[in-house]
């Protein structure tokens, strides 16, 4: 999962943080606001996006591994890789949704 803030220009600025919720992000940052490139942002401004396409990777890797077993191996390997990759994608999407729906429990406190 990639965390980012959107600049006024529409460009995404990605944050080098690994957290599951905005409350965890606030705990790491230590406050409800922070600056990036001289501009002030708030924890609630941070969004999450899925960082990779595991279904596609699974098809490719599974197909390549299956190639050792011949044409039928490519089909079965690709299908197995797609299933495994799709499950990984679903988990990642749930994590992104959980972060984007999360609230910073300290948002109303003043420091």
- Full-model pTM: 0.69
Residue 32 near residue 107 (C-beta atoms within 8 A): yes
Q: What is the pLDDT of residue 92?
A: 86
* Of 86, 39, 81, 43, nearest in space to 64 by CA: 81
Between CA 63 and CA 42 the distance in angstroms is: 45
How is the chain split into domains, by residue range? 2-101
Is the pLDDT at 107 greater than 50, yes or no? yes
Ramachandran category for residue 38: left, alpha or beta (phi over 0 → left; psi -120 to 50 → alpha): left
* pLDDT tens per residue across span 12-64: 999 999 899 999 999 999 999 999 889 999 999 999 998 877 788 888 888 88
């Amino acid at each position: 999962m990639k965390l980012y803030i959107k600049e006024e220009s529409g460009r995404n600025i990605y944050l080098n943080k690994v957290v599951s919720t905005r409350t965890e992000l606030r705990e790491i940052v230590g406050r409800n606001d922070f600056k990036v490139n001289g501009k002030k942002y708030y924890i609630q401004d941070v969004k999450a996006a899925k960082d990779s396409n595991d279904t596609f990777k699974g098809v490719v890797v599974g197909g390549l591994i299956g190639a050792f077993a011949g044409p039928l191996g490519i089909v079965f390997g690709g299908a197995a890789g797609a299933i495994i990759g799709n499950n990984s994608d679903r988990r990642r999407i749930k994590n992104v949704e959980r972060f984007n729906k999360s609230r910073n429990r300290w948002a109303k406190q003043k420091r």
